[in-house]
Amino acid sequence: MLLFRRLILPSICLFTLTVASATARADHDGKLQILLMGDSTCIGSICRKTDPNAHHLEDVIRDLLKADNDIPATNVINQGRDGEFVHGLLTSGRYDRDIKPLPGLDYVLIRYGLNDRGKRKDFAKNFPNDLRELMARLRQDHPGAELILMPTFPYFRDQRDEDINTIVRAVAESENVPLLDVHERFAAELKAAGPQALTYRRVPLKNVPERFHLLIRPAIYDQQVIAMGNRYDAHLKDVPGWFSDRHPNLAGYHVIGDETAKFLAPLIKKRLAEKNAASTSDQPTVRVAGIVLKWIRTEKETNYQRAEALIREAAAGGAKIVVTTESFLDGYAIADKSIPLPRYRALGEPIPDGEYFKKLAALADELDIHLVAGMMEADGDKRYNTAVFINPEGELVGKYRKQKLQHELVRNTPGDRSLVFDSPFGKTGLMICADRTEQSIVGRFNENGAEFLICPSGGMFGPRRNDPIVQSRSRQNGKYIVFVHPAEFLVTAPDGTIKSRTILGDRLLIPKEEIDGPLDQNRVFYFELPVSAVPGP
């Protein structure tokens, strides 16, 4: 009974996969939503008391999934409660209050059974019925859910564990849902590391001889002694109950989290692959090329000549849409505030009457391509960070002015519209660099009917600082995004997965004397972009 009274862990984990609405997902910044439900062994309240800044169960799952580039960013929410059991969850009002209203859930991990065994009358009969009722509620409140049941890990370490798990397996079979079984993995880890390796020690302070109180002072919490590992075993192993608590310690949660992430990863990928296959089967594509090219600051002619060679290569490679980086012509001169203001302003030119715009238009006409190019626009006294969209006849389809300027505001004027342009491939949205960080900006492209988004960029890049942002914007808005940067080519799919990514060096800018040197890494990258239509010959 002492063991049961200390119980807070659920015995099974029920995972629910839901297809959420776009609105619900937008509430969570485009991330996969993973909800953890269960008892104390789910929430790990004691571990949070002793180590509040450690990686807890939800953190372990989130970061392991984050390391897989084929999986969108996740938000893992832990709703475990000490002492909870399924019938209590459903009848106390907590389900209706805390679980039912949650928007955009993709996975719900529910682990119950240990407390149910002690608290639910006629456990063998009622526990499976409670599980089925919970599953029915989840299916009703989160339509399209795929449920996954999870037996307990070795908690009682006797027949009681098997009694619980037998019920869980039977319910999984009768409900035709998958089973994630961490029992075998947890048992193997205990066998390898020792029977107490994955559980913490917890006893009342009054049970510990006073001569040890000074020594164990760091482990005293509210008149309890709590140790996450074996640090004090040499002194306290003979204290009654020192090894009795079977709740996971931080190491135990890493085992559970690792096994959970390993199970979820292929499931998520399969689901995404099926979704992509359904959305892209027999769908036409257009070849898009990104010109990944380092900037030479303020050297417009040099930058143009370097880009022209790669644009010609892209057209020869079959690209129908070719995209440069942000401000490729002036080399993002706005970053250097030491450039005298008159010289800086002279780098801008009117559109479509400027010298280099006319060169770009003639090039698009010659090569029979759509060209998206970043340049500084001069419009009277104002300067804009602009991307132009030129058609294969060399005509200006439209221009987009960057809206989120930040440090650029000292010299540039922000745009104020998320413009969408008609093209033979569908409605095309152009945004620039930092615009991608603001859903309020990107969402307006959606409202205006954009079918895909192109983002000439500079600044942040790579899997740590940039890619999760672009993935989230794709998933939030259900759109492909083509991101072209001096050091990266990235394409993200409507479900947030990365379809193409290459990092090319770590420089955005090189001095003129480094042209063709080891720092001057540049290349054309291609992607077959699914579109709504492709023009005839």
| Spatial distance between the Cα atoms of 2 and 368, rounded to a whole number of angstroms | 79
- Confidence class of residue 18 from pLDDT cuts 50, 70 and 90? very low
User: Averaged over 461-475, what is the pLDDT?
Assistant: 90
pLDDT tens sequence across 124-140: 999 999 999 998 888 87
* Same-domain pairing of 270 and 291: no
| Spatial distance between the Cα atoms of 34 and 109, rounded to a whole number of angstroms | 7
Which DSSP state fits 423?
A: -
Domain final residue, candidates 261, 279, 297: 279
CATH number for the domain including 302?
3.60.110.10
* Same-domain pairing of 219 and 95: no
With respect to residue 309, please indicate whether it lies within any of the assigned structural domains. Answer: yes
Q: What is the pLDDT of residue 19?
A: 33
Q: With a cut of 60, say whether residue 517 has pLDDT above it.
A: yes
Q: What is the pLDDT of residue 23?
A: 32
Q: What is the pLDDT of residue 147?
A: 81
With respect to residue 226, please indicate whether it lies within any of the assigned structural domains. Answer: yes
Q: With a cut of 70, say whether residue 214 has pLDDT above it.
A: yes
Q: Which of 23, 28, 20 is nearest to 472 (CA)?
A: 28
* Same-domain pairing of 357 and 258: no
Question: Which is more confidently placed, 250 or 179?
Answer: 250
| Spatial distance between the Cα atoms of 371 and 288, rounded to a whole number of angstroms | 10
One DSSP character per residue, 463-509 reads: HHHTHHHHHHHHHHHT-EEEEEETTEEEEE-TTS-EEEEEE--S-SB
* Same-domain pairing of 264 and 354: no
Q: With a cut of 90, say whether residue 273 has pLDDT above it.
A: no
* Same-domain pairing of 392 and 448: yes
φ/ψ of residue 103, rounded to 5:
-90, 150
φ/ψ of residue 51, rounded to 5:
-135, 70
Q: What is the pLDDT of residue 280?
A: 57
* Structural contact between residues 321 and 453, judged by C-beta atoms closer than 8 angstroms: no
With respect to residue 27, please indicate whether it lies within any of the assigned structural domains. Answer: no
Structural domain count of the chain: 3
Most confident of 17-21, 241-245, 277-281, 472-476: 241-245
* Same-domain pairing of 340 and 320: yes
Q: With a cut of 80, say whether residue 204 has pLDDT above it.
A: yes
Displacement of CA 105 from its chain's centroid (Å) = 14
Q: What is the pLDDT of residue 178?
A: 84
* Structural contact between residues 46 and 57, judged by C-beta atoms closer than 8 angstroms: no
pLDDT tens sequence across 401-444: 999 999 999 999 999 999 999 999 999 999 999 999 999 999 99
- Confidence class of residue 40 from pLDDT cuts 50, 70 and 90? very high
Q: What is the pLDDT of residue 533?
A: 66
Q: What is the pTM of this model?
A: 0.59
Note down the domain range covering 306: 285-530
- Confidence class of residue 10 from pLDDT cuts 50, 70 and 90? very low
User: Averaged over 215-240, what is the pLDDT?
Assistant: 96
pLDDT tens sequence across 359-378: 999 999 999 999 999 999 99
Question: Which is more confidently placed, 350 or 277?
Answer: 350
Strand extents, DSSP E, 207-247:
220-221, 224-227
Domain final residue, candidates 227, 259, 279: 279
Other beta carbons within 10 angstroms of residue 433's beta carbon come to 27
CATH number for the domain including 161?
3.40.50.1110
